[in-house]
């Protein structure tokens, strides 16, 4: 092995449920200075310096002695952090990709507008051939609340504020978004919920946010509120959500994420008349844009620069 | 009658199907210098100088000898122009209201995003408890076309371009909208249609645009295109639309406007599986904002200034 070859970074794609051929081609193109391998054809594990992961097979990361960085292909990294063999001192970088953010912004805007304009009510009218126009509230009289004010929550909040909605965000620590009122910490969660007619969940999944949408918090929303969960299934307590819909506390919910995915065929969400189920497609990592983001982050890390969206393990995102 | 009283403008609200009490209160508030009356309690018709109209009872306008201006409460004025007793020389002003534009922008954005993200496909999957994620095209690879590039079409085109869609507009005469390619005149209609995957109709209804969405023009759209008609029912040839949906030429349509409104209960649109019917609610004239716009236009007209959105009767809008 020559010195030049030894210096060449070796990237291991260790993913399940993604098109690894497409990622191999894209990273080969975006990172020509690196050698890219795909698990399980990993060769000498001591040569691997960088790992690109999504539903990474258990234990792989613990077997890479010279690993310098781990790059997630998603914005949520709770599954990576749950790996007991995750090396403690290797930086873990989340994917905050423009393609992902674009998709999330589209989906959240669409569903907020859908509920704002009572499209489910008009669909029911159509089934009975009923012509019953209703004036919608002006957007400034419609209170939207975003749980989470990071890259995705911030973008959605700004877009919805641009449509004229009365938007607030809730986050762990204070966050400033133009035109959006921020509530922060557990102390202000009740005030945030009590004002929120359309609730969007874009939180990271951590010990603090696990099950945050439950009987108690749903009861603080105004009667007839709407929920859009595009974060993680574990944010929602399934039985409490169904109870809130059945009691009329919540008018309807759009769910993109579930405790078990694929959502099992017999799960009651599928056939609940007030629930719209979509199969984790609100924001899809797009190889074309995400491979560029990963390549940029790899180069920053190898150059010893600080990498945006490096996970703070103590807070979990 | 004193000179002061004689000089006081008298506004007649001559409307059907709107809340005339709300309009009386709002115009009284916004135009304190005027006297406001509601048809049929019009008093001496020779005193009326200004008319505010929506589905104006036939013949009323022809009986007002001292009329100086007519203010429509909608953006489309084809019904006013169809009144054979419409005074030929009195300015007619369309309503281009921020509240109306806001609602249209919400509705068009929502439905473009709905089709872009294949929400009808996912609804079908939900009915069969099928988990089948599909990556949507990036917005820059989705071609949206807006028929009409006026106040409403221009606003929607800019919003959709802001989401990153590849947006074009088509208009009678050339129109410049930032980031939007303009096609104009009948000569360029085919080129516009051939590129358009999601077609939005926001045209005024004139002799030129009556029936513009017909078998011939629908056949120029790429297979599997979508239609959103939020202009007038007469823009669409109903049977041709159903044929295009049944043949698969069109994938789906959202219709807010109809040749006969309310849409008759036995009309085939109600139960067509590919058609979403809403009861003319895409943009609702909001009394709070529209009364301010009307008051501003009344004052401009009385001051002898040019009034924006005065109808050019030769072109019909």
Q: pLDDT, tens digit, for every residue of B162-181? A: 999 999 999 999 999 999 99
User: In whole angstroms, what separates CA B128 from the centre of its chain?
Assistant: 37
Q: Under a CB-based contact definition with an 8 Å cutoff, are residues B182 and B149 in contact?
A: yes
Q: What are the pLDDT digits (tens) for A60-75?
A: 999 999 999 999 999 8
Give the pLDDT of residue B6: 52
- Average pLDDT (B201-208) is 96
Which of B117, B155, B269, B292 should we substitute to test contact with A (largest number of A Cβ atoms within 10 Å)?
A: B117
Cα-based torsion angle of the residue sequence B259, B264, B270, B276 in order, rounded to the nearest 10 degrees? 40
Q: How far is Cα B190 from Cα B203, in angstroms, rounded to an integer?
A: 16
- Selected residue with higher pLDDT from A135 and B254: B254
HSE at residue A1, side-chain half, CA atoms within 13 A, is 7
Q: What are the pLDDT digits (tens) for B114-137?
A: 999 999 999 999 999 999 999 889
Which of B125, B141, B281 should we substitute to test contact with A (largest number of A Cβ atoms within 10 Å)?
A: B281
Mean pLDDT of chain B: 95
Q: How far is Cα B177 from Cα B199, in angstroms, rounded to an integer?
A: 17
Give the pLDDT of residue A24: 97
Residues of B whose CB is below 8 A from A116: 106
- Using 70 as the pLDDT threshold, list the residues of chain A that sit under it: 1-6
pLDDT band of residue B4 (cuts 50, 70, 90) is very low
Sign of CA dihedral A244, A250, A251, A252: negative
Q: What are the pLDDT digits (tens) for A233-273?
A: 999 999 999 999 999 999 999 999 999 999 999 999 999 99
Instruction: Report how far apart, in Å, the C-alpha atoms of B201 and of each of A13, A139, B154, B282 are.
Output: 47, 23, 12, 12
CA end-to-end distance (rounded Å), chain A: 38
Residue B233 has pLDDT above 90, yes or no: yes
pTM strictly above 0.95: no
How large is the ipTM? 0.92
Neighbouring-strand partners of residue A159: none
Where are any strands of DSSP class E within chain A?
10-15, 35-38, 50-54, 69-72, 92-93, 143-147, 166-171, 181-184, 198-201, 225-229, 250-255, 275-277
* Angle between helical axes of B98-116 and A98-116 (0-180°, round to 10): 120
- Average pLDDT (B252-263) is 98
Q: Which of A232, A235, A249, A292 is catalytic?
A: A232
Give the pLDDT of residue B56: 94
Q: Which of B232, B235, B249, B292 is catalytic?
A: B232
Give the pLDDT of residue A6: 52
CA angle, A309 then A313 then A317, to 5°: 45
* Residue A211: other Cβ atoms inside 10 A: 12
């Amino acid at each position: 092995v020559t010195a030049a070859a030894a210096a060449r970074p070796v990237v291991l794609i260790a993913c399940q449920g993604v098109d690894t051929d497409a990622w191999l081609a894209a990273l080969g193109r975006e990172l020509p200075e690196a050698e890219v391998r795909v698990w399980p054809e990993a060769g000498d594990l001591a040569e691997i310096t960088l790992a690109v992961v999504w539903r990474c097979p258990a234990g792989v990361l613990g077997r890479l002695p010279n690993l310098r960085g781990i790059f997630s292909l998603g914005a949520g990294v709770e599954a990576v952090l749950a790996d007991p063999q995750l090396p403690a001192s290797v930086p873990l970088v989340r994917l905050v990709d423009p393609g992902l953010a674009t998709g999330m912004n589209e989906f959240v805007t669409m569903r907020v507008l859908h509920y704002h304009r009572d499209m489910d009510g008009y669909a029911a009218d159509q089934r009975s051939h009923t012509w019953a126009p209703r004036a919608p509230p002006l957007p400034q009289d419609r209170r939207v609340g975003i749980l989470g004010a990071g890259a995705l929550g911030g973008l959605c909040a700004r877009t919805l504020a641009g449509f004229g909605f009365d938007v607030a965000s809730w986050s762990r620590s204070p966050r400033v978004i133009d035109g959006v009122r921020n509530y922060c910490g557990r102390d202000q969660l009740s005030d945030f919920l009590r004002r929120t007619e359309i609730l969007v969940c874009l939180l990271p999944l951590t010990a603090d946010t696990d099950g945050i949408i439950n009987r108690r918090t749903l009861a603080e929303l105004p009667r007839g509120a709407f929920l859009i969960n595009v974060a993680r299934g574990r944010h929602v307590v399934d039985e409490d959500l169904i109870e809130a819909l059945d009691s009329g506390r919540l008018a309807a919910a759009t769910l993109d994420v579930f405790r078990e995915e694929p959502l099992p065929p017999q799960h009651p969400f599928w056939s609940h008349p007030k629930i719209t189920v979509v199969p984790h497609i609100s924001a899809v990592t797009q190889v074309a844009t995400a491979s560029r983001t990963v390549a940029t982050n790899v180069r920053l890390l190898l150059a010893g620069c600080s990498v945006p969206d490096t996970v703070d393990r103590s807070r979990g995102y």
